Amino acid sequence: MRIIDPHIHVTSRTTDDYEAMAAAGIVAIIEPAFWLGQPRTKVGSFLDYYSSLVGFERFRAGQFGIRHYCCIGLNSKEANNVPLAEEVMEALPLFLAKEGVVAVGEIGFDDQTAAEERFFHEQVELANEVDLPIMIHTPHRNKKEGTSRSMDVLEEHGVEPHRAVIDHNNEETVKEVLDRGFWAAFTIYPKTKMGNERMVEVVKKYGSERIIVDSAADWGVSDPLAVPKTAKLMAERGISQSQIEDVVYNNALAAYGQSGQMNEEDWLKPQAIDQRNLFAGNSVLRGGQEPRVETPKDDSSIIE
């Protein structure tokens, strides 16, 4: 089974993770811009980070056979530094025009402050201007209230529900998100947020329409194989193959494919892996390591 992880922060992960992800069937990933663990203090830090998402990380993923896309946005936590956030907002349009950018995100609420609300509105309007989908980060505290308010903001700006993915859902929020017509994404974290056992029960109750599974693996305790592990558990618990394919592949492709930047042919007819290639003079290998060099292949003929 081909798998897409549509929310993972691979900048924080190792090459071992890339190898394991590819072996588990992950063919494409989406990396949304996010919080790095400590506050950035200069706009240049944001610019270098965004550049790495559309540049080196895209290259690094490809060296292990995984297609990398990203979302660009000002995360809600750092929106509270208003002077810096204003500088970041000036730079966002440049990066949203880059190849491989599939959405504005992840944006939304953290503590649901006035500053967060301001820059949330501004970024939704920017997404409308550049005609990109939107990835919403729902808050960890007061989640139900924050999720409802996030959808209110989108509706205030005339965003059609099919253009927005509401992420970090749980059993408390999913019904409203689906009832209002948005994509409902779920982060599978070890021992917190949504575990894969709970995710199985959500799909059993609500089906697979507009439901997306992701890992959001980052620099904390998280699992870059959360999506394939959840797919495996779903199969073991009797969920149909077609529903599994929807929540770990088809729905993410449909949601983010609206950008025009993410196409199935990107991995069905991939460029051959050649680890002799360099990015800005840099290789994923270290001295003396044997590069992986493949001949071109057409994955579209694979029978599953």
pLDDT digits (tens, 9 = 90+) for 82-132: 999 999 999 999 999 999 999 999 999 999 999 999 999 999 999 999 999
How many folded domains does the chain comprise?
Answer: 1
Share of the chain above pLDDT 90, in %: 91
Q: Write the DSSP assignment of 157-214 as a string of letters.
A: TT--GGGEEEES--TTTHHHHHHTT-EEEEEB-TTSSB-HHHHHHHHHHH-STTEEEE
**Residue 302: inside a domain:** no
Compute the CA torsion angle 23, 285, 189, 29 (nearest 10 deg): -70
pLDDT digits (tens, 9 = 90+) for 175-191: 999 999 999 999 998 87
Q: Label residue 206 exposed, middle or buried (CB < 10 Å: 0-12, 13-18, 19+).
A: middle
Instruction: Residue 53: give its domain's CATH number.
Output: 3.20.20.140
Dihedral sign (CA 220, 26, 55, 256): negative
Contact 239, 200 (CB under 8 A): yes
**Residue 293: inside a domain:** no
How many residues appear in the chain?
A: 304
**Residue 121: inside a domain:** yes
**Residue 109: inside a domain:** yes
Q: Does 201 sit behind a cis peptide bond, omega within 30 degrees of 0 on the bond before it?
A: no
**Residue 303: inside a domain:** no
CA distance 126 to 90: 11
The secondary element (H helix, E strand) that includes residue 57 is helix 56-62
CA distance 50 to 184: 26
CA distance 149 to 79: 17
**Residue 167: inside a domain:** yes
Strand-pairing partners, residue 211, are 184
21-26: long-range pairs with CB below 8 Å, 24+: 21/64, 21/66, 21/224, 21/225, 22/64, 22/65, 22/66, 24/225, 24/228, 25/1, 25/228, 26/66, 26/227, 26/228
Contact 214, 227 (CB under 8 A): yes
**Residue 87: inside a domain:** yes
Residues of the chain where predicted confidence (pLDDT) is lower than 70: 192-193, 297-304
- Determine the structural domain holding residue 58 and report its residue range: 3-260
Residue 118: how many other CB atoms lie within 10 Å: 15
**Residue 192: inside a domain:** yes
